[in-house]
Amino acid sequence: MSLLAEKRWWYLLLAAILILAGMWINLSRLQPAAGQEIAAHPYTGFRAPDFSLGTLEGNVVSLSDLHGQVVVINFWATWCTPCRLEMPALEHLHQELGSDGVVVLGVNTTHQDSPSAAADFVEERELTFPILLDVENIAGSAYEVQATPTTFVIDREGVIRFIQIGGPLDEAFLFSEAESLLEEMD
Amino acid sequence: MLPILNIGPLALQAPLLILLAGLWLGISLSERVAGKASLPEGDIGNLLLVTLGTLILGARLVFVIQNFPLYFNAPLGIILPNPDTLALLEGSVLAVIAAVVYGQRKNLPLWETLDVLIPGVILFLMAAAGKDLASGAAYGTPSDLPWAIELWGVKRHPVQAYEFLIDAVFLVLMLRLGVTGRPGTRFFLGTALLAGGRLFVEGFRAEAFVIGGGWRVVQFGLLVVLVWALVMLRKRVVST
């Protein structure tokens, strides 16, 4: 510490730090990933893993078919209380922004639930957004879902921008996220 | 990665638990150091809690005000915990104001207080690095070094572990080295070490805000903090 008091050593130390820091800042520049495809992983900043699942009505929905739209994927189960609590927020989002390009997908974790329970719940709550049945845990496994509810918000380029593990969702925040993602490419 | 600990029907978020443990340990350590420096331990702990509480509540309140039309229609969201719904810059300003007001009311000397806080802050930052390692956040650039870890499909620098280890070395230095001198010396030494350590570690991060030809903006900010802390440290050493 006493070396710092001597002017000569002080200037020497400062110069050494500036030179070393400058060299490191230059050496560690982040090379732009232009042209490289973003890998698919269930984490913020990565491309959302693709999946195809059947709906309650018997149709098949593939995530890749929704490219160009903002997609909200919500993993849920009928026995999960926070899942039940956040359903009105998802329905509201679907009603309000569905026509603007926001797609809400409710992925029922059917491997730990049942199609009939899901159908009853959807009817009781009058949910109108697509409910997908993940009977073999295909999407749940691809998204490494460890707890319900888990929600992923995906931008128009198919990149995951927000993840919430647990619930219920903050509806206002969900709207602000979806609206800002819609505006990104307008 | 262990983002969720499933214990029976409970799904506990491991990163959050690590962060809370780090917070508790950090406050405890600062209180212990305060006791040795003849500062009131309870006041130091309360100062940290007041600062943190104001940061979280203030940041949340500002975010709600900024998005009031949305919350007006969905008021339940105001009380839901979500780290993404925090206006951190504004919350930090409010937290500093609260800390200053609390410190003045309790007659806590500024530099002596900052001196005892810095070891606790380093311990908390170690926990934050542990949290990132557990959740896979703040991940590193691809690497083929023997100690690289598989994360998000690629072998990467375990940048969170680098951060943890560097902070651990700094913590030992701060606690073991008998740093003497004018009040504030320990604080500026710790700040310089933290800034220098982070400037180094940031170079391994895969995600960063960059300008021009890939220059990491945060590294320039850290260099400014490093030089400022060293200048302030020297002033204290010279005047001792």
- Domain residue spans of chain A: 1-30, 52-184
Any idea which fold A52-184 has?
Glutaredoxin (3.40.30)
Residue type, A136: E
Which tokens is A98 given? 């569905």
- Has residue B1 got a pLDDT over 60? no
**Location of structure tokens 């375990």:** B158
Q: Would the CB atoms of A170 and B227 count as touching at under 8 Å?
A: no
- The rounded distance, in Å, linking the Cα atoms of B136 and B129 is 10
Q: What is the pLDDT of residues B158-213, one digit of tens each?
A: 999 999 999 999 999 988 876 667 899 999 999 999 999 999 999 999 988 999 88
A87 in Cβ contact with A167 (< 8 Å): no
**Location of structure tokens 């260099």:** B223
Compute the nearest-CA separation of B102 from chain A (Å).
Answer: 32
Q: What is the pLDDT of residues B78-126, one digit of tens each?
A: 887 777 788 999 999 999 999 999 999 999 999 999 999 999 999 999 9
- Has residue A24 got a pLDDT over 90? yes
Please indicate whether residue A83 is annotated as part of the active site.
Answer: yes
At A118, is the pLDDT very low, low, confident or very high (cuts 50, 70, 90)? very high
Average pLDDT rounded to a whole number, residues A124-153: 94
Which tokens is A140 given? 């749940």
Select the residue from B86, B141, B237 to test the A interface by mutation, using most A Cβ atoms within 10 A.
B237
- A72, A83, A93, A139: which is the annotated catalytic residue? A83
Cis check: omega of the bond before A149, within 30 degrees of 0: yes
Distance of CA A28 to the CA centre of its chain: 29
Q: Would the CB atoms of B152 and A46 count as touching at under 8 Å?
A: yes
Q: Would the CB atoms of B13 and A39 count as touching at under 8 Å?
A: no
Compute the nearest-CA separation of B177 from chain A (Å).
Answer: 11
Long-range contacts of B11-18 (CB under 8 A, 24+ apart): B11/A146, B11/A147, B11/A165, B11/A166, B13/A165, B13/A166, B14/B134, B14/B135, B15/B131, B15/B132, B15/B134, B15/B135, B15/B137, B16/B131, B18/B127, B18/B130, B18/B131, B18/B134
Q: What share of chain B is helix, strand, coil (3-state, %, to 5)?
A: 70, 10, 20
At B71, is the pLDDT very low, low, confident or very high (cuts 50, 70, 90)? confident
Q: Which residue did the predictor score with more confidence, B14 or B104?
A: B104
At B238 the pLDDT is 83
Select the residue from A159, A163, A176, A180 to test the B interface by mutation, using most B Cβ atoms within 10 A.
A176
- State the sign of the Cα–Cα–Cα–Cα dihedral B197, B203, B209, B213: positive
